[in-house]
A and B are shown apart, each in its own frame.
Chain A
């Protein structure tokens, strides 16, 4: 038996999502990313004596939206607690977090893993403040502290240890990232650290239920690196147990350069957070009416849109999944369905030409300048035979360059409108057939493949405007005379 089949991985994930508020959770400092160090701080962020935190109203609504989308219970009574630890990125000496009354309790998210649906259960989602950033490379003797990030609002989304492979973790994180982006609560940018993930990993013998000693792996800056870190940690633990070693409870930091990890702190130095209620922040009470008003405002969720795309617009499950991966694409598609009935063609355009030009130009749909109506006009030009597919692609690219132009006008200007004038076509066909008498003879003997040669020449003569379908029909008529 393969040793990897002997063990089962048990993984719980903690996702930190920075909320898309303008100001911090307890003070008015700017939250935008990438500003010069320590330019977005306040007396509250610096924990100067006599300052008091005051809660940003938006946070509550964002937390509830995420909780409702994840089928969590929303706590009617919310306190904040102080999580005490001493670290340079946390001037107060404690982080304001939620311990006993997380705003969202329980819930789950369904994710697709290798064609199967896996339910990932959530333990809780709670509100807290982010800490500052330490830099240990800038100076030889000192660590440098930037407090711009200190006090940025976070939701910590904690899953149950119910994930059993790095593929499941990957699927769950992809889905969670998609959800927070759909809800406009977080931009999901793992490279910039606005969404972060820590993995709690343990292993046990297959068939047993007791949990093994867990190791926390931190500092993965992409979903792919979370997968790599989990694979690496599971392998490390299996190797350790197989060689007679013991797994030590510890926190490790992932190194993206080679996929390895190194220990940050072990259990003997584990924190004792000494939580106690934050008396400076009055409790937050969430009434049923408030919940209902947020429920009414909930946008369509990715899986709801995917269902609509399959049931109302007859798309395949694959197409629906691809088109709902990004909210902007999904909403564009939905809007476009008002202007066309050819949903399949619309889907193909969105997943093909539109997506590739977005990648090529690194632009959002919005800034690409193609409206859903223009795209649908283009589809109609193809459907009515006025454009062939290569002409449509040319027109599409021309429209991206000239977004103010009307598709049909531009097609005429570019001489792309397909000629279906049979008289003109007939001239080209005759010209080509006269040019290749021997090939015509071959065709008549049954070598039907040479028709491609004729087609190619006709297309050249018509400068690509000949409608292939009509041309083929006419050509066959002439050849069979």
Chain B
């Protein structure tokens, strides 16, 4: 797979990251390596083999519909870098134009 600027830009946008020009070149080389490794894995014939999604065979693992409030708001907000007494604060991301 070809790793070009367009792919890097798309991945950066999806993961909300921004790279410098040098950073971009570096990431491009790293990604290329990763893709080459994946290509190697693709050489294995997996015809007729179901993908492994679950590591055990359990099905229908449920919890009862019971309310259990285990943490307080203070605890919930404790590790947030930006907050007030009630809310998590994040950079403003919707402005009506």
Contacts and interface: CB of A to CB of B under 8 A. Distances in A.
A351 B84 CA distance: 51
Contacts of A272: 10, 14
Contact of A29 (B10, B62, B67): B67
Contact of A42 (B66, B71, B82): B71
B95 interface: yes
A285 B89 CA distance: 40
A46 B76 contact: yes
B89 A86 contact: no
A279 B61 CA distance: 13
B97 A135 contact: no
A28 B70 CA distance: 8
Contacts of B13: 269
B47 interface: no
Contacts of B93: 88, 134, 136, 143
Interface in B62-89: 62-73, 76-77, 82, 84, 86-89
Where chain A touches its partner, the secondary structure class is: loop
B60 A282 contact: yes
B34 to A, nearest CB: 16
Given A21-B65, A56-B62, A144 B14 contact: no
B61 A144 contact: no
Nearest to B13: A269
Q: Chain A, interface size: which category?
A: 35 or more
Contact of A279 (B55, B88, B89): B55
Contacts of A15: none
B71 A43 contact: yes
A283 interface: yes
A38 B63 contact: no
Contacts of B15: 86
B65 A22 contact: yes
A146 B65 contact: no
Interface string A140-151: 011111110000
Interface in B12-46: 13-16
B45 to A, nearest CB: 22
4 closest Cβ contacts across the A-B interface? Answer: A28-B68, A144-B87, A57-B62, A145-B88
